[in-house]
Amino acid sequence: MTWDAIVVGGGPAGSTTAALLASDGWRVLLLDRARFPRRKPCAECINPAGVAALRRLGVLDRVMEAGPARLEGWRIASDGGPSFLGRFHGGVHGIALPRETLDDILLRHARACGAEVREGLKATDLLRDGDGHVRGVVAGGEEVAAKIVVGADGLRSIVLRRLGLLARAPRLRKLALTAHVRGLGDMGGCGTMRARGRRCVGVADVGGGLANVTVVVPAEQAHEVGGHADAYFDAALRESGFVDARRVDDVLATGPFDCPVRRAVADGALLVGDAAGYYDPFTGQGIYRALRGAELAAQTIGAALRAGDTRAAALMPYERARRRAFAPGERLQRVVEAFVSRPRLLRWAAGRLDRRAQLADAVIHATGDVRPVRSLLHPALLRQLVA
């Protein structure tokens, strides 16, 4: 049998794409090498635009029943210097919950919408015809045919690599260590990022008395982690002042994150979520982009299937929509990374933003995808920055 679409990867991008296509009546196979619920290295914060996307998908009620923490803003602390707090306003907020819960809800939703979901099934290659047009995947040693293949298989996407669309090796080389802890008490509804040199520790309440701690280690210190991720993580937590925290699960390690992609479409295939390109987790926009990217992908795939044309040219509306939606945010991420990787610059910026709450809130709204990045260029805000 030939599926209308095979979606490789059941994270937020894949499950959402599968759910939307299946709801429109397409025959969709969603496969993931993992069995759910599964953990995923992530700081587990969904920004306000991501919350809105979950609402549009029709799963927000189920997510809220799982008891996520409410995220009202972020405090960013420079190393040995000032910190600033940026808050969301006007009823806007993010949420945070463990990825094993969120991703399981999204995968079940895809199944409920009519997608055939196969867990524990790994895609290892693409099938192509004589012209190079993708005609399906090899998964679990078998050939499975489809009119279109969606690569939603994350940062180390096999679909991306087999399509030859990876632009270059990562330049920004960081390592992240993630685990859940107890004992941090009330965090006032805000996440915290504490820089120590070029290392950064992010902490956010994820509900149920748990907090997510993510330690981002720059490349030059990665050798210190060696094979001792748990011990390094515990020490980083203490050194950052979180002395009451007790880790409750194993530390997950991942990196590097910089994954530049030449384009997200090919003949018979399309990339979504991290597989379509990623840079850095500091601003916490990945889940939103996975959900929003899936919406954009499903629109284009539906039109391509209806027209019976899945060549790259027919998938270009998705490529253009992605660029319009995400390119400004990616540029902002690079600016943020330039500050985070230079402790003196971060101290200077934190000092300025600490005394200019309106500017701090504007930055948090832009990284929360609530306001466009260009809103930061408003003359009144720029005057505040240089004043």
The residues binding ligand FAD (CB under 6 A) are: 8-14, 31-34, 40-46, 122-123, 152-154, 158, 176, 178, 214, 254, 257, 273-275, 281, 284-288, 290
The nearer residue to ligand FAD, 233 or 288, going by C-beta atoms, is 288
Cα–Cα distance for residue pair 335/323, rounded to 1 Å: 18
CA-based nearest residue to 370, from 292, 296, 260: 292
The nearer residue to ligand FAD, 150 or 347, going by C-beta atoms, is 150
DSSP 68: P
CB 3 to ligand FAD: min, Å: 15
DSSP 166: B
Question: Is omega for the bond preceding 37 within 30 degrees of 0, making it cis?
Answer: yes
The nearer residue to ligand FAD, 212 or 384, going by C-beta atoms, is 212
The nearer residue to ligand FAD, 82 or 295, going by C-beta atoms, is 295
Please report where in the chains the tokens 């027209």 appear, as a residue.
Answer: 307
Q: Could you tell me if residue 123 is left (phi over 0), alpha (psi between -120 and 50 degrees) or otherwise beta?
A: beta
CB 43 to ligand FAD: min, Å: 3
CB 340 to ligand FAD: min, Å: 14
The nearer residue to ligand FAD, 94 or 268, going by C-beta atoms, is 94
- In contact, 140 and 33? CB cutoff 8 Å: no
CB 252 to ligand FAD: min, Å: 9
CA-based nearest residue to 334, from 273, 253, 279, 263: 279
CA-based nearest residue to 89, from 70, 72, 68: 72
The nearer residue to ligand FAD, 121 or 360, going by C-beta atoms, is 121
Task: Say which residues have a Cβ less than 8 Å from residue 61's Cβ, sequence separation at least 6.
Answer: none
